[in-house]
Amino acid sequence: MRPPRLLRRAGRRTNIALLVVLVGAFASGVLAFAVGTPGPARVTTVAHGVFGVGVVLLIPWKSVVVSRSARLHPGSLALIALVAICLAAGFVQVFGGYGVVLGVTPIQVHVGAALVAVPLLTWHVVRHRRRQGLRRRDLSRRTVLRTGLLGVGAAAGWVVLETAGRAAGSGSARRIATGSHRLDAAAIPATTWLLDRVPDLGPRHRVAIAGHAWTAAQLDELAQAEGLSVAARLDCTSGWYADAVWTAVPLDRLLPTAGDGPPDRARGSIEVVSATGYRRRFPPAQAGSLWLATRRDGGLLTAGTGSPVRLVVPHRRGFWWVKWVAEVRVSPAPAWAQPPFPLQ
């Protein structure tokens, strides 16, 4: 069957355009996980949505490319399935909201499918490499115009979806800049990043802060006595956020001041280490906004959510909020000397 006129030019440039939007979606997705401040987060998730819609818009053209193929490779069929799952889960996250079905959340399915798709797509592109490559003609005015049309179409498609989602009263209207949906603080799930486990910390647990051992009760008493607390939003990359008031002591109250410490303190980092080994580094200048918390909304923390002491870091995504804190140390290594995301 001959494809309709509009789709007849499907071919090499369709594949290149698809590669560009897929790489853009992947990169903006990873970035969306890293940013926590509203402005940049908004830009990132909107860009991500537009790239995602771009993938959807190319489906008719790519279908023509595929239909011309004499044989379908199993790896390519798996790729079709993965991209379909990724797209579906992305829309469920945006319009359906956060939820756990059969033990998984939409974002877990979304990112999981995207990660598995990466090696398959790489293989696909390598396998078909002889049919590809940019040519001089690709920079012609017509092609540039078509590329521009794809961009405009994707942006318009995103606006239509957003508008429809809002008009229909879907969850999309209430999500915040990072894309997360609201949960009641009392309903916060005990969340681990990847493979971390809730440790069994007995009453003898101590938090070593710059070499000095503190009991959780001492930290709690200090915070209560001085009325120290911080209102902060826990925004997890699994697609939810919750607002709460944390009874907590900021680290600049507990660490030696710059004058007392070794001279490299300003250049090094503050490393917060969990009893499980999970850890994150922060610039020393941020000590005042790193809070060691013992209570959430007045009640002691539960085992799953970091008891007896956890870190609270306003304006940073949840994976920075180290739970079950065992040690806070000033380290000569800079704050960027760590994987961008935890590995456990």
Ligand X SMILES: Nc1nc2c(c(=O)[nH]1)N[C@H]1C(S)=C(S)[C@@H](COP(=O)(O)O)O[C@H]1N2
* Beta-strand pair 299-300/181-182: unpaired
- Give the torsion sign (CA, 313, 318, 324, 329): negative
User: Which residue number places its CB atom closest to ligand X?
Assistant: 318
**Which of the choices ligand X, ligand HEM, Mo ion, none does residue 88 contact, using the CB cut-off of 5 to 8 A by kind?**
none
What sections of the chain are H helices per DSSP?
Answer: 12-34, 38-57, 59-67, 74-91, 106-127, 141-167, 216-225
> Does 278 engage in binding with ligand X (CB under 6 A)?
yes
The answer to whether residue 190 forms part of the interface with ligand X (CB under 6 A) is yes
Neighbours of 202 (CB within 10 A): 5
Rank residues 27 and 258 by Cβ distance to ligand HEM and give the closer one: 27
CB of 229 to ligand HEM, least distance (A): 30
# of chain residues touching ligand X (CB under 6 A): 20
State the sign of the Cα–Cα–Cα–Cα dihedral 100, 106, 109, 115: negative
Nearer to ligand X, 61 or 321 (CB): 321
User: Measured between alpha carbons, how far is 330 from 338 in angstroms, rounded to an integer?
Assistant: 15
80 binds, among Mo ion, ligand X, ligand HEM, none (CB under 5 to 8 A by kind): ligand HEM
Judged by beta carbon, residue 53 or residue 232, the one nearer ligand X is 232
Residue 160's contacts (CB-CB under 8 Å, 6 or more residues apart) are none
Size of the site for ligand HEM (CB under 6 A): 44
DSSP run (H or E) holding 242? strand 240-250
* Residue 91 sits in the site that holds ligand HEM (CB under 6 A): yes
Among 83, 121, 321, 328, binds ligand X (CB under 6 A): 321
Instruction: State the Cα–Cα distance between residues 272 and 30, nearest whole angstrom.
Output: 23
Which residue number, 86 or 242, has a Cβ lying nearer to ligand X?
242
State yes or no: residue 318 binds Mo ion (CB under 5 A): yes
**Which option in Mo ion, ligand X, ligand HEM, none does residue 323 bind, with CB closer than 5 to 8 A by kind?**
ligand X
Q: Amino acid letter at 261?
A: G
| Beta-bridge partners for 262 | none
Q: Which of residues 155-214 bind ligand HEM (CB under 6 A)?
A: 161, 175, 179
- Segment interacting with ligand X, rule: CB under 6 A, options 52-60, 128-136, 209-217, 300-308: 300-308
